[in-house]
Amino acid sequence: MKETRIRNFKTLALQFILCIIFNAVHAQKSDSMSLEINKSHFLQGDTLNLEIEVSKFREVSNSATIHLWIEDLKTGKKWHYRYPLLNGVLSAKLIIGNQINDGYYALNFLLQKKFFTLEGKLVNQDDKDVVLNYFLLTKNMQMASNVVSLDKSKSFAINNLLFQDSASIFFSKPKHKNNQLQIEIKTPLDSNIIAIDTITRFIKIGKIVDVSDSSILISPSYQFDANNNLYNSIMPEVIVRSKSKKLIDDYVKENVSGLFAGTDATVLDGLESEEIANANDLFNYLTSKVGGLNIKYDDEGNRELTWRKRSADIYINEIKVDSEFALDIITSDIAMIKIFQPGVPVAFSSGAGGTIAIYLKNGAYKKPNKIGNNFCILGYTGLESTWK
């Protein structure tokens, strides 16, 4: 028994020494980035604290991107996270999920000079097109709207977008009632990663790890190439769902909050039914499904929904918008519509004319599209997130 304890102590000591030696060797790879991690041995449920500082950040950029690639050294499984680096500083926490296996892991930090940018081109262009309106709705209920200029080739760029997780972005022509835009987009951060600096550190997870696995750590030939793994990693936003449970139930759990979660509403499912997607006009579709809901035209021909002669409130992803904006949505991008009758309080308002809550497909619920007038785009990892 005593010999077993001594053997286990020697094994743990060897593992600890190997981690220290290898991390010390690889810590010298960076010329400008400094990295602090709270410890080298973690248990599931622990928090990995990351502190990064770029001493000469102004030579890089006031805003840049840190990619974190985590690799299981035994299986080769990889996870990808990316964080905003603002004024040369990043402070983030990563909770280690219970499903992370015991073992040795490489933490690969890559500094990319670029910040999140959306580049696009208007395909069905007109010589008169010089600007586009855009409206951004983030998953955590923030919104931003602005105008972007088109160059001679009808291309544009929206620079330095900062949002967490994912967002939906919509484009429209100013004062244009028929929004049949065809736009191509690309996000450079989702393509090749050109790192101007890198740091690799190694950690151990779990109470007991086979010491034979640690032999990987003493290999000086370890190298990580992010671009060979860009589309083969596990992104935190991607969730594989079982067919045994209705998609709409999962969607509601993840996306509906506050008073919008009330059950006193008519629910139209756009995930497992094609009825909404096949609708040629959103407002006509809604009035055909809901008794008492009507369309009202103003003097300029603009439309709005009314109920009991009062304007209905329209929300997209629980953010209030005007009627014309709602008409810019492509119906195939709608995941669900919740319709609250007049008098039902929603979002701390009386809802005198009723409330139409439109929810858009996002993340795993939306097929990626690179052409159209609205898109789901991936932003940055939250500064407090979970590795799972």
Beta-bridge partner residues of 95: 47, 386
Q: Is 306 helix (H, G, I), strand (E, B) or coil?
A: strand
Q: Same domain, yes or no, for 265 and 180?
A: no
Burial class for 59, CB neighbours closer than 10 Å (0-12, 13-18, 19+)? exposed
- Residues with Cβ within 8 Å of 337's Cβ and at least 6 positions away in sequence, in order, are 267, 268, 270, 276, 286, 356, 357, 358, 359
Query: According to the model, what pLDDT value does residue 18 have?
Result: 46
Q: Same domain, yes or no, for 88 and 155?
A: no
Kindly give the confidence (pLDDT) of every residue in the chain, 388 residues in length, as a single tens digit, with 9 standing for 90 and above.
Answer: 445 444 444 444 444 444 444 444 444 445 578 999 999 999 999 999 999 999 877 766 778 999 999 999 888 889 999 999 998 899 999 999 999 999 999 999 999 988 999 999 999 888 888 999 898 888 777 788 899 999 999 999 998 889 988 888 888 888 765 567 889 998 888 777 888 889 999 999 998 655 555 555 545 667 787 766 554 444 444 333 444 458 889 899 888 988 899 888 999 999 988 999 888 889 999 999 988 899 998 887 888 999 988 999 999 888 888 887 788 788 888 999 999 999 888 877 667 889 999 998 877 787 766 677 878 888 999 999 999 9
> Residue 311: enclosing H or E segment and its boundaries?
strand 310-311
Q: Same domain, yes or no, for 219 and 179?
A: no
Amino acid identity at 116: F
Cα–Cα distance measured from residue 317 to residue 295, given in angstroms and rounded to the nearest whole number: 22
Task: Give the number of other CB atoms < 10 A from CB of residue 127.
Answer: 6
Cα–Cα distance measured from residue 279 to residue 270, given in angstroms and rounded to the nearest whole number: 11
Structure tokens that stand for 381 in this block? 């990892």
CATH code, domain with 294: 2.170.130.10
Q: What domain range includes position 12?
A: 2-115+192-234
Our count of domains for the chain comes to 3
Q: Same domain, yes or no, for 332 and 265?
A: yes
Amino acid identity at 295: I
Smallest CA-to-CA distance from 185 within 136, 233, 225, 126 is with 136
CATH code, domain with 212: 2.60.40.2550
Residue 164 lies in a domain: yes
Cα–Cα distance measured from residue 354 to residue 339, given in angstroms and rounded to the nearest whole number: 8
CATH code, domain with 128: 2.60.40
Residue 125 lies in a domain: yes
CA dihedral 247, 252, 253, 259 (to 10 degrees): -170
Residue 384 lies in a domain: no
CA distance to 35, 105, 361, per residue, from 74 (Å)? 24, 8, 36
Residue 358 lies in a domain: yes
Q: Same domain, yes or no, for 132 and 183?
A: yes
Sign of the four-CA dihedral 321, 326, 332, 335: positive
Residue 182 lies in a domain: yes
Query: According to the model, what pLDDT value does residue 377 have?
Result: 86
Task: Give the number of other CB atoms < 10 A from CB of residue 231.
Answer: 9
Residue 242 lies in a domain: no
